[in-house]
Amino acid sequence: MILVPVQNEKNYYILLASDKRLEIYLICPDCNSCIFITWSQYSRHSLPAEREIIIQRMRCSACKATHALLPAFLFGKIRYTNETIAPYVEQFAEEETTVSQIYKQSTDPKEISTLHRWFNRLAHQCKQLLPLLQQEIKKNSSKNNFKSLIKDTSDNHCQIKDVYIMAEQLIQLSKQYDHQGKLLSPLIFLNYFYWQKTGHPLLAAIKFSPT
């Protein structure tokens, strides 16, 4: 899988049609080659609108591995897109709102279960993201009085707020644009950043090692 930093379906198809813009993202995760050929496509259904998104696959000419070009508005195997997930994360990160209060906004048990799963996965991944983001901000900041946002807290969900704030800082500092020159939204940026650092998309299922 190769993640590409696009913010909606229209921009994804525009990027696929532009070889020169697309080639800067084509680096094989297996062998680091930059030579690819178009290979195949598959469809992926997104919720809640039940849209069908056509995902392009590319084949590395060097090692022959195939990789799906996954747009960053999709998160792993989750069928909901950034359009649906981002408002919940933004509400929690930017307002004086608890996760429990967000759950209570819905009366649908299935929706509450889905929100619970998203926030638990995001909280787990934020433990990895915090030091990585801090390092990148230090690298891109000219300020000498940078203060760490990493806190020793028993509430893992609080780290989501810190990660969101740091993502907004880093987007501005490092000028994280999409291929059309627009600043990336925080959650899409975090999805792309997390994939660059770990090889996995944001909100992917958590795999725990056996003890």
pLDDT digits (tens, 9 = 90+) for 137-165: 888 776 544 454 444 444 567 788 889 98
Helix/strand/coil for 135: helix
pLDDT of residue 152: 46
Count the alpha carbons within 13 Å of 74 in the hemisphere toward its beta carbon. Answer: 24
Neighbouring residues of 67: CB distance < 8 A, sequence distance ≥ 6: 1, 2, 28, 29, 57, 58, 59, 60
Q: What angle do CA 160, 162, 168 make, to 5 degrees?
A: 105
The answer to whether residues 25 and 2 touch, using CB atoms and an 8 Å cutoff, is yes
Residues 92-113: pLDDT tens digits?
888 778 888 888 887 777 788 8
* 82 C-beta neighbours (distance < 10 Å), count: 20
DSSP assigned state of 183:
B
Q: What was the pLDDT predicted at 129?
A: 93
CB 50 within 8 A of CB 177: no
Give the pLDDT score at 141: 73
Give the angle 188-71-99 at the CA atoms, nearest 5°.
35
Please give the chain's pLDDT, 211 residues, in tens: 999 999 999 999 999 998 878 888 999 999 999 999 999 999 998 887 778 999 999 999 999 999 999 999 999 888 899 999 999 999 888 877 888 888 888 777 778 888 888 999 999 999 899 999 988 888 877 654 445 444 444 456 778 888 998 999 889 888 877 767 788 999 999 999 999 999 999 998 766 444 3
Rounded distance, CA 193 to CA 189, Å?
6
Tell me the two tokens of residue 141.
Answer: 């900041």
Percent of residues in the chain assigned helix, strand, coil, to nearest 5: 45, 15, 35
Q: Which amino acid is at 170?
A: L
Determine how many CB atoms are found less than 10 A away from the CB of residue 72.
Answer: 26
